[in-house]
Chain A
């Protein structure tokens, strides 16, 4: 994530954070992909393209498309059953899964099941990869993927779209920063415990915040490569607001220069929220809500988004 995540302003000496097995029990190493489920894949595709993503591959057996920019993979799942189940019958796209990169998917899966992860059935067809998954927030899934070094899962399950660059560069240095999860009232500590128990996340002090949307509790995942750590932000409803629903609400994207990124994305057609409560500034920016639910947040973060 940003260098802010690696260097704490208070430290006197360059003491390294611990990256031992104890603090990273499942060998986590960032995000492999984020999945949206939707019954309107074309409309969502247009929004993703405005954000700089490009469609690169199609799934072999299902109505699923892979979008990519830099190191970020977004899977758009329009398989009718999946879209209906994940969105609980609503028409708007939902973030239906996060796929975590781990050192050994089988070992990670066994570890989380032993501690109360809830196995969910996944439906691999013949010759497709079986990717283990557990229940996450609001009916979403958390996948565990270990085929990211020598070859990628997309080489097996996806067919490249002909004549399309399989590795489109990131717009304005966009890279993955974090996920914002909406949670029910007084549920922060349940989820903090859940992520800590299963993934070894650590709670960031309330004084330390990134971007322009500071609400809630912030967790940081461990990673084998410190640069692959990412944030989970848990946001409860306002007091007296009756919305107990839980869901993965938005993706946070890191950019080295927020104002330049906003300018570049505006040129692609993205609109940003500009109100007294939330507006573009060097620390961050937030996009308009598209299709009733799709929001992207930009956060200042130095890491380059292009593949090494």
Chain B
């Protein structure tokens, strides 16, 4: 028999994204907490779209007791510092600073930045690395780490292997990788490359499944990613997700797993229905896949006493 405290403990490493739920921020936070989650991945719209303003949204997050897994998402930042696009670069630096300030106000330690889709951005990996290094430097005074993620429709960086390459070129302690299972499966990147990562440079892992066997074109990937992801275990790529999570665990990754599930159907369902599906998915990953929920010795003693 599961107790609410037991469920919360089992779910400790897992969190939901606000993007999976409809409605006001407070209702989303309530639904996540009610399902036993202790953390939440927030997005900029949660803050600036709050009817009482973004400071009120920060207070709502603080009042919920949920920890911020991270803050998303800074887009199309890198590859713009060449002279021809320097104005655009400076504009993006201003955007990045606002994102960092909101991230810091929420107490989130990770800002997610995803790889550029812009035709105006350079494909030079060293220039990309230099821009990411600058972003990481901007984040240092706020104590924020940058998780850089390769979108599967990114122009130059569309696999985690290339993202890892530029992170190494940038070589900055608070710049690491953000892994999103959707993009790995969609781009069909071999999972063996996970072994080349360094566990303490994985700053965030986002998990989602989907229903199609294949997404060959960038357009298909984009549409699927933005409208029809499902929770791990609900789609047709469960086996790959299991392999991914086990590989990350074997590598030594002990950070958070967040459910990055964009789904148009879930956005018109009652929040407890969606949160319960997320909970079922997290319990499956924790108990059946990672087997991380074996009761600690202290609990065993209490039960037999």
Residues of A within 8 A of B (CB): 114-118, 135-137, 184, 187, 189-194, 197-198, 244, 246
Contact = CB atoms under 8 A, between A and B. Distances in A.
B97 A118 contact: yes
Contacts of B248: none
A190 B133 CA distance: 11
B143 A118 contact: no
Q: Contact residue range for chain B?
A: 10 to 19
Nearest to A118: B138
Nearest to B81: A114
Given A189-B173, A190-B174, A184 B137 contact: no
A189 B97 CA distance: 21
Contact of A118 (B133, B136, B141): B141
Contacts of B97: 118
A200 B13 CA distance: 39
B30 to A, nearest CB: 28
A89 B249 CA distance: 43
A187 B136 CA distance: 13
A187 to B, nearest CB: 7
* Among B133, B138, B140, B173, residue most surrounded by chain A Cβ atoms (within 10 Å): B140
B141 A197 contact: no
A190 B203 CA distance: 14
A116 B173 contact: no
A246 B134 contact: no
A190 B136 CA distance: 9
* Among B134, B135, B138, B141, residue most surrounded by chain A Cβ atoms (within 10 Å): B141
Contacts of A187: 143
Contacts of A184: 143
Contact of A137 (B135, B137, B141, B172): B141
Nearest to B90: A113
28 contacts: A114-B134, A115-B133, A115-B137, A116-B133, A116-B134, A116-B135, A116-B136, A116-B137, A116-B140, A117-B137, A118-B138, A135-B141, A136-B141, A137-B141, A184-B143, A187-B143, A189-B173, A190-B140, A190-B173, A192-B173, A193-B136, A193-B172, A193-B173, A193-B174, A194-B140, A194-B141, A198-B137, A244-B143
Nearest to A244: B143
Contacts of A135: 141
Contacts of A117: 137
Contacts of A137: 141
Interface string B97-109: 1000000000000
B111 to A, nearest CB: 14
Contacts of A118: 97, 138, 141
A15 to B, nearest CB: 28
A184 B109 CA distance: 12
A210 B262 CA distance: 55
Contacts of B141: 118, 135-137, 194
A247 to B, nearest CB: 12
Contacts of A136: 141
A35 B30 CA distance: 45
A197 B141 CA distance: 13
Contacts of B143: 184, 187, 190, 244, 246
A255 to B, nearest CB: 32
A28 to B, nearest CB: 17
Closest 3 CB pairs of A and B: A116-B137, A189-B173, A116-B134
